[in-house]
Amino acid sequence: MVEVIRGHAAGGYSSVLPPEISKPVLDAMGRVPRHEFVPRRRAASAYEDRPLPIGYGQTISQPYIVALMTDLLAVKAGDKVLEIGTGSGYQAAVLADLGVEIYSIEIIPALGKAAAGRLERLGYDTAVTRVGDGYFGWPEAAPFDGIVVTAAASYVPPPLVQQLKPGGRMVIPVGRPFMMQQLVLVTKDAGGKPRTRVLLPVAFVPLTGGH
Ligand code: SAM
């Protein structure tokens, strides 16, 4: 699995993209048992570099995209990261493996509950989950060093920008549902001013909810 996620597709994309995924992220990807995060009947495909269905019309993201989004967050141990879209809990586990304190929100109660149980069973103690609409973030736990949104929004939710620390990084797919979107990196400078950079085309399930 590590080999297929090592390099990037050639040419044309933002220079913000790292030339390759960093070793700590690759190591974390190598340690987290992806087969534990997919339905049992999908276990044989767990280490293929593609998204897989996890029920309720949702997916566990492609390993390369998980690695890239994790790398773009540029986290260090002890950082506090907010994830919108817990899904299977896999992305949260990769971040927890890197020593991150991870707060993850899922809007589908059955998925959120299953992911919480899975993360606890596998010992990812620094992952905290809740069920709700992630559009509004997790104000009581804010501010965050990083925010990763794993469902496509039509615009960057202002509450999430607000909950990002100065110096923090947010990675989010932005665009129309059920079409290609753009992976966007939002950084906040020391003065709190956000800057948005478009990185590469991606395809995510939509951010839902009543917001
Ligand atoms: N990060 C997940 C993983 O590692 O398995 C994959 C997430 S899947 C691509 C996107 C998830 O976002 C789905 O589980 C979906 O239910 C959830 N979602 C969609 N809209 C949401 C919202 N407003 N708040 C929280 N979660 C949401």
- What pLDDT is stored for residue 194 in this prediction? 96
Ranges assigned E (strand) in the chain = 52-55, 58-60, 80-84, 101-106, 127-131, 144-149, 164-174, 181-188, 194-202
| 40-56 pLDDT per residue, tens | 999 999 999 999 999 99
User: What is the Cα–Cα distance from 198 to 211, expressed in whole angstroms?
Assistant: 24
Ligand 1 center to residue 57 CA distance, Å?
Answer: 10
Among 61, 83, 86, say which to mutate for ligand 1: greatest number of ligand atoms within 8 Å of CB. Answer: 86
Task: Please give the CATH architecture assigned to the domain spanning 2-204.
Answer: 3-Layer(aba) Sandwich (3.40)
Q: Which atom of ligand 1 is nearest to the CA of 83?
A: 1
What mean pLDDT comes out for the span 96-110? 98
Residue 58 has pLDDT above 60, yes or no: yes
- Alpha helix (H) residue ranges in the chain: 23-31, 63-73, 90-97, 109-121, 158-162
Task: Label the pairing between strands 181-188 and 127-131.
Answer: unpaired
Answer whether 167 contacts ligand 1 (Cβ < 6 A). no
Task: Label the pairing between strands 80-84 and 101-106.
Answer: parallel
